[in-house]
Amino acid sequence: MSKRRNTLIVWVAIYPAITLLSYLIGNDINHLPIYVRTLILTGILVPAMIYFLIPFWASIINKIPSKQ
């Protein structure tokens, strides 16, 4: 798989996930220091990305024929 395709898969997975998670829990953790907020967000997002989001989007994007 090409680097461009991998980049697209990660971006398509991470952008909406960060936006949604920030929307859902942003106000609840806003009073915490930035390093704690980052720890919470990455603690949720990294496993979600590895186990669910990247495989899901990869299966969809890999169905698209590549130009070579």
pLDDT mean values, one per 10 residues, the chain (68 residues): 87 95 95 96 96 93 79
CA 54 to chain CA centroid, Å, is: 8
Its sign, for the CA torsion 8, 52, 33, 22, is: positive
What is d(CA 37, CA 26) in angstroms, rounded to the nearest whole number?
9
Model pLDDT, residue 66? 73
Model pLDDT, residue 1? 62
The predicted model scores a pTM of: 0.80
Model pLDDT, residue 2? 84
Q: Is 33 helix (H, G, I), strand (E, B) or coil?
A: coil
Model pLDDT, residue 65? 83
